[in-house]
Amino acid sequence: MQQSLVAAQTVLTEEDLAMGISIVVFFQTLGPTLCISVAQNVFQNRLSSNLGRTVPGLDQNALLETGATNLVSKVPSADLPSVLAAYNLSLTQTWYCAVGLATLSIIGALGMEWKKIEEEKEKEGSTTESL
């Protein structure tokens, strides 16, 4: 979270610094807000599909409303291994969204200007000493 703020402070001029940091913080809050709802929808859709394939007679809506904490008490013991396998597969498929977005974030990182912070401090120090 902090690295993007340090990168913005290093690359931007003083005039653009406030706007740049505001944009970074905005997207750091907007991204997770949108991604949580997308991941929830992907998980529910995949769980419904996976349960329909593995345990066709189970009431999927009741299971989705139950949640993970009461899953064991609401599912018949004969169907529990299949339901847990479908739940695990759905979680794995939901993580693919996070992996894809993390991979896409590399594009933004490649667009950043490469600067060393030490060099900037050394230049500022030599300017101050010469005055």
pLDDT values of the chain reduced to their tens digit, one per residue, 131 residues: 788 888 888 888 889 999 999 999 999 999 889 999 999 999 999 999 998 898 888 888 878 788 778 888 888 888 889 999 999 999 999 999 889 988 988 887 787 777 777 655 555 555 555 44
pTM for this model (two decimals): 0.70
Q: Which long-range contacts (C-beta less than 8 Å, at least 24 apart) are formed by 17-24?
A: none
The domain locations on the chain are 2-114
Name the DSSP letter for residue 110.
Answer: H
Name the DSSP letter for residue 55.
Answer: -
Q: What is the pLDDT of residue 117?
A: 73
Q: What is the DSSP string of 64-104?
A: HHH-STTHHHHS-TTTHHHHHHHHHHHHHHHHHHHHHHHHH
Q: Say how far apart CA 32 and CA 54 lie, in whole Å.
A: 32
